[in-house]
Homo-oligomer: A and B are copies of this chain.
Amino acid sequence: MTDTPHDLVDFGNGQPSSSLLPLDAIRTAADHCLSRGDAALLQYGDDQGDVDFRESLARFLTHRYATPVSAAHLMISAGVSQALDLVCTRFTRPGDTIFVEEPTYFLALEVFRDHGLQVVGIPIDHDGIRLDALQDALTRHCPALLYTIPSFQNPSGTTMSAARREQLAAVSRAHDLLIVADEVYQLLDFGTAPPPPLAAYIRDARVLSLGSFSKICAPGLRLGWIQGAAPLLDHLMQSGVVHSGGGLNPFASGVVRSLLDLGLADAGLDVLLRVYAERSAVLCRALRDALPMATFVEPRGGYFVWVQLPSTISASRLLPTAVAEGVSYRAGALFSSVNGFARSLRLSFAHYDEAALVLGVQRLARAIARYSTNAE
């Protein structure tokens, strides 16, 4: 990485560094599972996903979530994006209204658009989705589902409090509201675990919890899970794609089953937690040093810092200047269903090493200085 505009530091990139991808562990796991003479991972698999893999996954999640997880309540997916698409196919009809958090994960909004859904944003505060706003919206709408990212939210980094989770589950029960919880960051805490995942409420509320190996192992596996009560999973499994293609990713399931059973998934996640905690700290320190006018809450987990610029600055309008300086990010408006968050930007610390993070912030500071000078 040299300090030239050609080596863009793209804080918008939500991918892990290639150096963090567990190539050797996956090689060990692949050899382990392909050596035992069982070709099941090459066959059309069970619609719900291989039961041995689901049991290994249930053990892993029971330990990591610190809350009991049963294999019977897990359906294997090809990642959260695929799972979200399947949930929309099976639980919504075009024209339906759904609720999302405001702000929310911008690419989930594209999945909802593909399904012809009307999106209503519910604001969040520092404890997660605002229940007063949700209750109010429920007087005007009958949503097919609510999409939430409870822990280390994308983009805001916010974690829903335990009390708020309880209240949300109560709202789900009272209104028969389907909660679709995107819990991909749940296990990515930097030392202080968030409250138990919404997956802990699948028995007493209408909750589907979407998890994935993308953020805790490797995105290219395209492997995740949907945790829910049997009737909800059954409804998902009655899909044409599942009936036709069988299990959604038997081969990657077999490899990751070995990864789990050999303890390599746990070891790999522990490495990621240490690296991301360090990167987050470095990015936040650099922001405080170089951008004293910016405000943010230092993340306690996940992938992102959600930065508020002074009200004189538009994150969207700043972007070309930033790119010219060799740095990029995701402007806040992307994450809004009502074109809000004009002065916010999302910075990911997952993709770059510490030197690149510092360099990116220096470039961002130069871009803001140039932008502010030009605006005067």
Contact = CB atoms under 8 A, between A and B. Distances in A.
Contact of A93 (B94, B105, B222): B94
A243 interface: yes
Contact of A18 (B21, B40, B78): B40
A310 interface: no
B42 A218 contact: yes
A44 B15 contact: yes
Contacts of A93: 94, 116
A21 B39 contact: yes
Interface size for chain A: under 10, 10 to 19, 20 to 34, or 35 or more residues? Answer: 35 or more
Interface in A39-91: 39-45, 78-82, 84-85, 89-90
A17 to B, nearest CB: 9
Contact of A42 (B23, B41, B239): B23
State the oligomeric state as a number of copies: 2
A337 to B, nearest CB: 14
A248 interface: yes
**A19, A115, A244, A250 interface centre (most CB from chain B within 10 Å):** A244
A110 B244 contact: yes
A290 interface: no
A31 interface: yes
A249 B255 CA distance: 14
A260 interface: no
Interface in A261-304: none
Interface in A216-273: 218-222, 239-241, 243-252, 254-255
B35 A239 contact: no
Contacts of A248: 78, 222
Contact of A249 (B22, B23, B222): B222
Given A23-B39, A34-B23, A43-B15, A110 B243 contact: yes
Contacts of A203: none
Interface string A107-149: 1111111111000000000000000000000000000000000
A30 B27 CA distance: 7
Nearest to A23: B39
A26 interface: yes
Contacts of A111: 240-241, 244
Nearest to A95: B94
A247 B44 CA distance: 21
A305 to B, nearest CB: 20
Given A31-B30, A107-B240, A244-B107, A221 B251 contact: yes
A241 to B, nearest CB: 5
A45 B79 CA distance: 13
Nearest to A44: B219
Given A218-B42, A219-B43, A244 B81 contact: yes
Interface of A: 15-16, 18-19, 21-23, 26-27, 30-31, 34-35, 37, 39-45, 78-82, 84-85, 89-90, 93-94, 105, 107-116, 214, 218-222, 239-241, 243-252, 254-255
Given A43-B218, A84-B241, A220-B251, 10 more contacts: A18-B39, A26-B42, A44-B214, A82-B241, A85-B85, A90-B114, A105-B244, A111-B241, A111-B244, A114-B239
5 closest A-B pairs by beta carbon, nearest first, are A110-B240, A111-B240, A81-B245, A220-B250, A107-B244
